[in-house]
Structure 1
Amino acid sequence: AMARGLTGVARPLIVTGTAHALFYGLILHNPLWSAQAVGGWPLVNLLLPLFLLPWFGLTRMPALFAKAPAELDRAIQIVTMLLVAGFAWATLRQLFHGALLAQPGVTDAENILRSILILALALGFLLWGIRAKRHDWRIASLVLMIGAAGKVFLFDASGLEGLARIGSFVALGFSLIGIGWLYSRQLAPDRDDAAPASA
């Protein structure tokens, strides 16, 4: 309908389909807390369409309106971040628990990989925020960094002893230093361009 210019037909279909995918798929029947089998194969399962279809619908919405408000674009970016993080979290869960993600229990390896995943998401959000010049993605990256640091300090380190505890803090420190160095290095040209403009 959109390809044929039938915006009046496409608008209710896309809005209704996206709302259905978000509410029923990701809120009411999310496999992370509801007993919904997603398939036993990593990556080749129902998690991809579960998170991809809402994103596809959301990114089509600005084209449905003549003048889309700026708040709509920000909302789409925030939901996209949540979808990316949710897909990564669910995929990690699927690697350890198979088709049913809502099974109780978290292994030590999964717990450690969760911290690594949060740091990886923070790095990915930062790189995309720098490349696309999106401030919201940079803020989300900072929030994820703080969350990863808090998780390691408050939860991961309490269950480790000796060299393992020291290693977790050292790994976290080097990760945060590396992300901070990347952030300052990539944003240096922006500051240099802004200085002559302000002068």
Structure 2
Amino acid sequence: MRSLEFWFDFSSGYAFFAAQRIDAIAVGLGRTVLWRPYMLGTAYKVTGARGLSSTPLKRDYARRDWARIARHQGLTFQLPANHPHVALAATRAFYWVETQHPELAAAFAKRVFTLYFNDSLDTASPEAVSRLAPEFGLKPGALLAGIADPALKEKVRRIGEDAVARGVFGSPFFIVDEEPFWGWDRMEMMTEWVRTGGW
């Protein structure tokens, strides 16, 4: 089956909501999901944009909107203190898990999202992220070493830069059949595009 690429930053509220639905959408389309965390700051360097939580007016609106979406979807959602965190440790951990145990990668990403937006997981802390390892039958020390591996660090940097070079600039961001869709609110359009063959 062809993949539906799901690009996101672990600190993105809208990506959290997209993560709750993306698997079901993909199944309905006969696709698999390629989970692809990256550092949104990489895109900001190119676009000159700022994150919602760093932008006056947009910050207040986004927080109201996230709370509204959570109520509508029946989800628990609580921003951690000092949001947004720079989720580099969590991103590196994901790619280590994907490399070592690809069958666990999507579940690991979902767990990071849940803990960040409900239990204040410090996604910037390698030690905090490594404590998730036993939930997946992994050793914290191995995950911690993986996060610190220079080769993995380079891989994560390259993945983010390659994504931006392909036009990825937001979170969540989807690519399906080379067609880009930016934003949680484009998921229905993306679904219809694939089902109809586009327009």
- TM-score with structure 1 setting the length: 0.26
User: Comparing both structures, which one devotes a greater share of its residues to strand?
Assistant: 2
- TM-score with structure 2 setting the length: 0.26
User: Comparing both structures, which one devotes a greater share of its residues to helix?
Assistant: 1
